[in-house]
Amino acid sequence: MSERKSVLSCIQPTGDIHYGNYFGAVKNWVQLQEKYDTLYGVVNYHAMTMPYNPKKLIENTWELVYNLLALGIEYDNLFIQSLIPEHAELCWVFNNFASFGRVENMTQFKDKSQSTSDGFISVGLYDYPVLQAADILIYKAHYVPVGEDQRQHLELTREIANRFNNQVGKEYFVLPETLHTATPKIRSTADPTRKMSKSAGEKHYISIFSDENRIRKQIRSAVTDTGETPEGQMSEGVANLFELLKAADAQDVYDHFMSTYKAGSLRYSELKDAVADTLVALSAQFSEKKAEIISDKREVKYRIKQSSSEIRKIAQKTLFEVKELCGLINVKY
């Protein structure tokens, strides 16, 4: 057994990956690989909880795998949830240790169940956080790097672990903690009052793998003044451009423009050009890596199936022990 603490996080396959996702999460995931035993999952079972298209789902799942690899996640640390059916099995077990009232009160459930187009709310959507608890606890992860919006789900995960432990009379599950890393919160360049996100529409996110022209166009049209900034204060739009420079580790460029800003001689067009140059260079680097990866998709798929089946062994061991603790009949695989 390794002495290192373990980290786990997961992401839903929704196709495109943008700079908000990268700077806010994936970049940190890549760095955590050095210090921790890390596992990252593409959670396609979770992606079925809202109305979806099966062809799109499988396409998005592989696309996300290619993207994560291009951004620096290592093969051995990456799995696809549906290749490890024990997640769903543990979810069933956990359904019996999760409080109905608590799950019903999850804000993400409330938000999403109100946003369905035809009023259909699946049981899967309701059960979503219990499956998430299974994702985490099945590997006995110590830390889960997630954003503020997932705090409630982490809390529920600990409640489930705790109730399970109490019921079976053993401190079997580790109570996982949120791993707080100060990651930059990138805003939409088209509307800096909201965060960069796909759900708001095309102009509200800058795709990492988009072409140079599009990136330049999006940065050039970034809103710098919403007319609501108090005198002498930096507007959210300008602050967001600075945030992008810092997030991309362009510290020198950041310092230069910050001092021109303080001197009162900042020209927005020059700042925008510098931000565009920085992102274009970064995107070029990631796109090159991606091109290399997708030049042999069969090989990538093979390797991800391999790594998922290695990771599955951990899940199977946990499930064996869980079934034993719960009074369920069991055999070793």
C-alpha separations of 135 from 26, 184, 314 in Å: 18, 26, 12
Question: Min. distance of Cβ 152 from ligand TRP in angstroms?
Answer: 10
Of 111-119, 129-137, 197-205, 229-237, the segment contacting ligand TRP by CB under 6 A is: 129-137
Q: What is the DSSP letter of 146?
A: -
Secondary structure class of 255 (helix, strand, coil): helix
Give whichever of 132 and 224 is closer to ligand TRP, judged by the CB atom. 132
Residue of 6, 132, 207, 218 interacting with ligand TRP (CB under 6 A): 132
Per CB under 6 A, 21 contacts ligand TRP: no
Structure tokens at 324: 């034993």
Give whichever of 9 and 38 is closer to ligand TRP, judged by the CB atom. 9
Per CB under 6 A, 223 contacts ligand TRP: no
Per CB under 6 A, 10 contacts ligand TRP: yes
Residue of 42, 93, 146, 223 interacting with ligand TRP (CB under 6 A): 146
Produce one character per residue of 72-83: b if its CB has 16 or more CB atoms within 10 Å, e if not.
ebeeebbbbbbb
Question: Min. distance of Cβ 9 from ligand TRP in angstroms?
Answer: 5
* Pairing outcome for strands 177-178 and 143-144: parallel
Residue of 95, 122, 150, 162 interacting with ligand TRP (CB under 6 A): 150
Phi, psi of 221 (to 5 degrees): -95, 10
Secondary structure class of 88 (helix, strand, coil): helix
Of 92-100, 128-136, 218-226, 291-299, the segment contacting ligand TRP by CB under 6 A is: 128-136
Per CB under 6 A, 318 contacts ligand TRP: no
Query: Residue for token digits 């931000």?
Result: 275
| Beta-bridge partners for 7 | 38, 143
Give the neighbor-by-neighbor strand order of the sheet with 78-80. Answer: 78-80, 37-42, 6-11, 143-144, 177-178
Give whichever of 60 and 278 is closer to ligand TRP, judged by the CB atom. 60
Q: What is the CA radius of gyration of the chain?
A: 22
Q: Which of 47, 71, 61 is nearest to 15 (CA)?
A: 61
112 is annotated as an active-site residue: yes
Per CB under 6 A, 68 contacts ligand TRP: no
Give me the 39-58 binding string for ligand TRP, x by CB under 6 A, dash otherwise: ----x--x------------
Per CB under 6 A, 9 contacts ligand TRP: yes
Number of residues that this document lists for the chain: 333
Per CB under 6 A, 135 contacts ligand TRP: yes
Secondary structure class of 171 (helix, strand, coil): coil
5 is annotated as an active-site residue: no
Question: Min. distance of Cβ 183 from ligand TRP in angstroms?
Answer: 13
Q: How crowded is the C-beta side of 230, counted as CA atoms within 13 Å?
A: 1
Residues that bind ligand TRP (CB under 6 A): 8-10, 12, 43, 46, 132, 135-136, 144, 146, 150, 153
Q: Give the residue numbers annotated as catalytic, written as ranges.
A: 112, 195, 198
